[in-house]
């Protein structure tokens, strides 16, 4: 499995390809990709657990913002633990 940093980079590169390298459209492409990925994961759960996960989504997203900021601020080659 690739490192977190490499995975984030691959996601960003894929989003840029998805919007024909239009940097202004990048945010929308990343948003769409994120929503699709979350929906795909949520579809794998039964309705009860899906609702439980959705209720915790806001706090997880807030934590992820902090984690991504730290990850992007690190020099290449260092992993978060």
Residue 81 has pLDDT above 60, yes or no: no
φ, ψ at 57 (rounded to 5°) = -65, -40
pLDDT tens-place string over residues 2-46: 887 788 788 778 877 877 877 777 788 888 888 998 999 999 999
* b/e burial code for range 47-63 (CB count within 10 A of at least 16 → b): eeeeeeeeeeeeeeeee
Model confidence at 77, pLDDT cuts 50, 70, 90, reads low
């Amino acid at each position: 499995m690739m490192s977190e940093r490499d995975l984030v980079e691959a996601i960003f590169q894929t989003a840029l390809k998805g919007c024909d390298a239009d940097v202004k459209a990048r945010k929308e492409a990343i948003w769409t990709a994120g929503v699709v990925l979350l929906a795909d994961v949520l579809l794998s759960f039964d309705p009860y657990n899906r609702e439980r996960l959705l209720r915790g989504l806001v706090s997880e997203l807030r934590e992820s913002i902090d984690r991504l900021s730290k990850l992007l601020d690190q020099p290449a080659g260092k992993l978060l633990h």
